[in-house]
Amino acid sequence: MLVWSRSGKLAVWTFAALLVGVVFLAPLAVILAASFAGQWNGVLPSSFTFEHYAQAGGGASGEAVTASLATGVVASLLALISGAWAALALRAQGGAAAQTLGVLFFVPSAVPSVSVGLGLLVAFSQRPLLLNGTMAIVFIAHFVLISAFSFGNVSAGLARVSPDYEEVASSLGARPFYRLRRVTLPLVAPYLFAAFGLSFALSMGELGATVMVYPPGWVTLPVAIFGLTDRGDIFSGAALTMILVAVTLALLLALERVSAVGAQARSG
Amino acid sequence: MTLAAFVDEAAIASGAAELRGAASTVAFDRVSVAYRGAVVLKPLTLEVAAGEILAMIGPSGSGKTTALRAVAGFVRPASGRIRIGGVDVTDQPPYARGLAMVVQNYALFPHMRVFDNVAFGLHARGAPKSLIEERVAEALKVVGMTQYVRRYPRELSGGQQQRIAIARAHAVRPKVLLLDEPLSALDAQIRRSMVEEIARLHAELPGLTILYVTHDQSEALTLADRIAILKDGALSAVGRTGDLYRRPPNRFSAEFLGRANLVPVVVESDADASGLVAVRAGGERLIVSGADERAGASRLLCVRPQNLTLAPDDGHTNRLAGTLREIHWQGELTHLVAEVGGALMRVVATKLPTTPTRGERLDMFFSPDDASLIAEEADV
Amino acid sequence: MSDAAASPRGTRVDLGALWVAPPLIALAVLFLYPLTLIAHAAVYDANDALNFAAAWATLGSRAFLNALINTAEIALAATAGSLALGLTLALIIAFVPFPGATFVARLIDTFIALPTFLATLAFTFLYGSAGVLNGALTQAFHLGDPPVHFLYSAWGVILAEMTVYSPFVLRPLLAAFSLVDRGQIEVASLLGARSWRIVRQVILPAALPAAIAGGSLCLLLTVNEFGIVLFIGAKGVITLPLLIYDKAIQESDYQAACVIAMINVALSLGLFGLYRAAARRLGA
């Protein structure tokens, strides 16, 4: 509605298409192509192969997939519980204290991930809790970074739930836990799903803290990809990256399906 | 859809018997509420009798919703106590007070079917399955929504949703039913029929005490046994609906509850034995009811637009002379505005034998019974 | 949703407050405690004595100052670029709608779910010395050497960050634009205003709060960015997070790493405060 002439609109759309194409689509396309590329010397790859994916299936790369998935699911689940718990508790409290605490829960997402990793490295390489070199420390790093994010998401979702529902539920005789279980949580469920999905995506792509604390036996996908590209094996790196992207998007899509089915039954 | 067609005498009779035992009064004992340092409700003392509908009306910010929420337990009074059925509930949480609330936006739980919505309170209080089924069926019958039992709220219209909300509240047999502007979100047409349904519901359930908050005075006039008018956080007037309407105690209630013509007058003589008193308005001498009036007092004469006629009908012995300024025909009613000694008076007539013209002299007649005197306040 | 408004009277202890304890304890143990240890390690040396000398040495070192300047320059440039890119695309998607506009918006949204280093890896294939662009140019113009080198400089980082962080600017802008009253635009058009004037006087003021909030978020994220810088691996392009990694993991100089981390955290917290203030005050 800003541009009225047909030629003007076409010009703008072409410009937009170029912009989106160059900035966003080209990178995706090129990684996809690289993951299948045998030889790539000129503008386009000269041969195609599945070799990189085959290599990714087994051995160290396969382990990286498992490690990332496990870390992602566990850390996201724990972060969701922790973040939602904090969001619900603070909302019930209200007042100035709740506002200050709210900011505190956000802080881990504001701080560079490398320093979170460094902190964990320093803190748990000494008494009283020795976690250095275990996979637990990786889980903890992801948990800390993600729970701030879940907290923010769930808080925003809770803010959109009208207090009417909970008040009417109370007036009808529902005690706080019953009300939480049967009214609040179902109403905020879509936001919980969304928070879990994006938390998982965050975990899958996390590098800064992981690279500071990971033990040799627990290498996540981003660390493995860095290892590959650092020593020049960029095609295998591309293949592994595509696997990472595929897994992440697959889970996000699945979550959206589940959430949509639930929403259909209850949208009001 | 008439309620009568769906009323099951037996069901209601047994419900009513149970209710009479649980019928409860509500008492505000100097209840005040503050929010962030500002007083939203000044100390309020008010009693609601068992089984009556009390409407709390007033403009926005009058504190009526705050008072309701204090009874519900969502707002903690800064001072004073709240008693339900004689029991001090001020320190009790909302879910323990044995009430139920219906709100403007229905607040039906979107993720539950109608059955589960109506059953919610019973389920929350741990009622056995058989009782739940019985009560839900009866509640839906009472509001005439039996065939919608398996639907989801999103499939229902506004009026239907509000009926389910009422059924949900009725199912738990509350001591007191709290209604917070329940009809404000509905279309005018639906609102009219819902008002009548609520009135019928209350007639069928004589034991149910209802506290009804609204800013719409016509809802209050239709439904309420008594009305409490609030303004700026304080009680301006309270009384039986008819009394409050016919003999408003102050200017604010005269103008808020229905429309009023207020004419400054001076009392000429003391009230006589029959409670009538003579007053002077400009050049006219009028006889109005005013039992305790003394000569020399200045008052506001209050007469409602629909009580003024253009011909001296039976008993309309008082006359005010004015000049017609405006006339608007609106189908059911004709609105006239006349100027009397510099002030404007409104007349509402259903039938006019002749149509007067602007600028014409207009005589308005009314009966002494249809007028009352209000003590002029500085600013209330 | 509180069951009772704050009451001026009554000192009854509200046990409900204790529900915050578990996540709070987790936060304290897993985040605050490590953070205090970093602060401690920054100024206490191996003999547990207060020793500012090492800290000052680190802060005065060339490596640190370069990293600080790099971080600031890259972050500001990337934020400016993301704002420009995000604003342009948001304007087009919102006000010159085309079929599939929502799909494009969602596509750009999914970029938020992808790891940041993906952009750098892709750039290697696109703009690296053996990449698509260089290959095309050398072939087309028969050049001896690959002409495009920006990937191995700060520009590579900046452009990669623009790709990754412009969605964070795009989203709030699209949301703000959806709230702009279309009636205002139509009236302005009828009154004779041309597109640029409408953009300047009607749309941009509406977008300003969202742009400021999105921009300050972008600034925070680019200051903290690690993956992109790591993958670029260029000698001259070291930012604070990368320096922390180098010091800690490559050189095992934990004290220096902690000192730099404290500065980085302080900078981030300051930007975070800025972001919160912007988002709150301008109601984005």
* Alpha carbon separation from B16 to B52, B287, B293 (Å, rounded): 14, 48, 46
Q: What is the pLDDT of residues C267-284, one digit of tens each?
A: 999 999 988 888 887 654
Higher pLDDT, C144 or C174: C174
Give the ipTM of the model, two decimals please. 0.85
DSSP class of residue C236?
A: T
Kindly tell me if the per-residue pLDDT of B61 is higher than 90.
Answer: no
Higher pLDDT, A87 or B351: A87
Residue A164's nearest CA partner among A152, A172, A154, A156 is A172
Least confident segment among A196-205, C54-63, C165-174 = C54-63
Kindly tell me if the per-residue pLDDT of C46 is higher than 90.
Answer: no
- Least Cα separation, residue A268 to chain B (angstroms): 5
**Distance, CA of B276 to CA of B90 (rounded, Å):** 46
Strands B26-35 and B176-180: unpaired
Q: Spell out which residues of chain B touch residue A259, defining contact as CB-CB under 8 Å.
A: none
Q: Spell out which residues of chain B touch residue A177, defining contact as CB-CB under 8 Å.
A: none
Q: Spell out which residues of chain B touch residue A186, defining contact as CB-CB under 8 Å.
A: 109, 111
- Least Cα separation, residue B92 to chain C (angstroms): 10
State whether residue A230 sits within 8 Å of chain C by CB. yes
Q: Note whether B33 contacts C5, CB cutoff 8 Å.
A: yes
**Distance, CA of B319 to CA of B42 (rounded, Å):** 42
**Distance, CA of B309 to CA of B316 (rounded, Å):** 8
DSSP class of residue B376?
A: P
Kindly tell me if the per-residue pLDDT of C8 is higher than 80.
Answer: no
Q: Note whether A27 contacts C126, CB cutoff 8 Å.
A: yes
Neighbours of C198 (CB within 10 A): 20
- Identify the residue among B41, B76, B90 best suited for mutation to test binding to C, counting C beta carbons within 10 A and taking the highest: B76
Q: Spell out which residues of chain B touch residue C3, defining contact as CB-CB under 8 Å.
A: 73-74, 93-94
State whether residue C15 sits within 8 Å of chain B by CB. no
Q: Spell out which residues of chain C touch residue B76, defining contact as CB-CB under 8 Å.
A: 4-7, 10
State whether residue A169 sits within 8 Å of chain B by CB. yes
Neighbours of B321 (CB within 10 A): 14
Q: What is the pLDDT of residues B106-156, one digit of tens each?
A: 999 999 999 999 999 999 999 999 999 999 999 999 899 999 999 999 999
Helices (H), ranges, C191-253? 195-198, 204-224, 227-232, 240-245
Helices (H), ranges, B174-286? 188-204, 217-223, 241-246, 251-256
Give the pLDDT of chain A (268 residues) as one tens digit per residue.
677 778 888 888 888 889 988 998 899 999 888 888 877 766 777 777 777 777 776 777 888 999 999 999 999 999 999 999 999 999 888 778 888 888 999 999 899 999 999 999 988 888 777 777 788 999 999 999 999 999 998 998 998 899 999 999 999 999 999 999 999 999 999 899 989 998 999 999 999 999 999 998 899 999 999 998 888 888 888 989 999 999 999 998 898 888 877 766 554 4
- Identify the residue among A162, A168, A188 best suited for mutation to test binding to B, counting B beta carbons within 10 A and taking the highest: A168
Tokens standing for residue C141: 């113009």
Neighbours of A236 (CB within 10 A): 23
- Least Cα separation, residue C276 to chain A (angstroms): 9
Q: What is the pLDDT of residues B219-231, one digit of tens each?
A: 999 999 999 999 9
- Identify the residue among B69, B71, B106, B120 best suited for mutation to test binding to A, counting A beta carbons within 10 A and taking the highest: B120
Q: Note whether C3 contacts B35, CB cutoff 8 Å.
A: no
Q: What residue in C sits closest to B93 (Cα-Cα)?
A: C3
> By the 8 A CB rule, do B244 and B220 touch?
no
Kindly tell me if the per-residue pLDDT of B292 is higher than 80.
Answer: no
| Burial per residue of B139-154, b for 16 or more beta-carbon CB atoms within 10 angstroms, e otherwise | bbbbbbbbebbebbbe
Strands B79-84 and B53-57: unpaired
Q: What is the pTM of this model?
A: 0.83
Categorize the per-residue pLDDT at C7 as very low, low, confident or very high, splitting at 50, 70 and 90.
Answer: very low
Please provide residue B215's backbone torsions phi and psi, each rounded to the nearest 5 degrees: -105, 0
Which whole number is the average pLDDT over C193-214? 83
What's the confidence (pLDDT) of residue A263? 67
State whether residue C13 sits within 8 Å of chain B by CB. no
Q: For A122, which of C37, C195, C268 is closest by C-beta distance?
A: C37
Q: What is the pLDDT of residues C120-140, one digit of tens each?
A: 999 988 888 888 888 888 878
Q: Residues in chain B whose beta carbon is closer than 8 A to a beta carbon of chain C?
A: 33-35, 73-76, 78-79, 93-94
**Distance, CA of B354 to CA of B360 (rounded, Å):** 13
Q: What is the pLDDT of residues C88-115, one digit of tens each?
A: 998 888 888 777 777 887 888 788 889 9
Q: Note whether A173 contacts B95, CB cutoff 8 Å.
A: yes
Neighbours of B110 (CB within 10 A): 17
- Least Cα separation, residue A59 to chain C (angstroms): 22
Q: For B124, which of A162, A178, A186 is closest by C-beta distance?
A: A178
Please provide residue B321's backbone torsions phi and psi, each rounded to the nearest 5 degrees: -105, 135
State whether residue A96 sits within 8 Å of chain C by CB. no
- Whether the ω angle into residue A128 lies within 30 degrees of 0, i.e. cis, is yes
Q: Note whether B94 contacts C7, CB cutoff 8 Å.
A: no
What's the confidence (pLDDT) of residue A265? 57
Q: Spell out which residues of chain C touch residue A2, defining contact as CB-CB under 8 Å.
A: 91, 95-96, 185, 195, 198-199
State whether residue A165 sits within 8 Å of chain B by CB. yes
> By the 8 A CB rule, do A236 and A228 touch?
yes
For the four alpha carbons of A220, A226, A229 and A231, in that order, the dihedral sign comes to negative
Task: Establish how many alpha carbons lie within 13 A of residue C284's alpha carbon, considering only the half-sphere containing its beta carbon.
Answer: 27
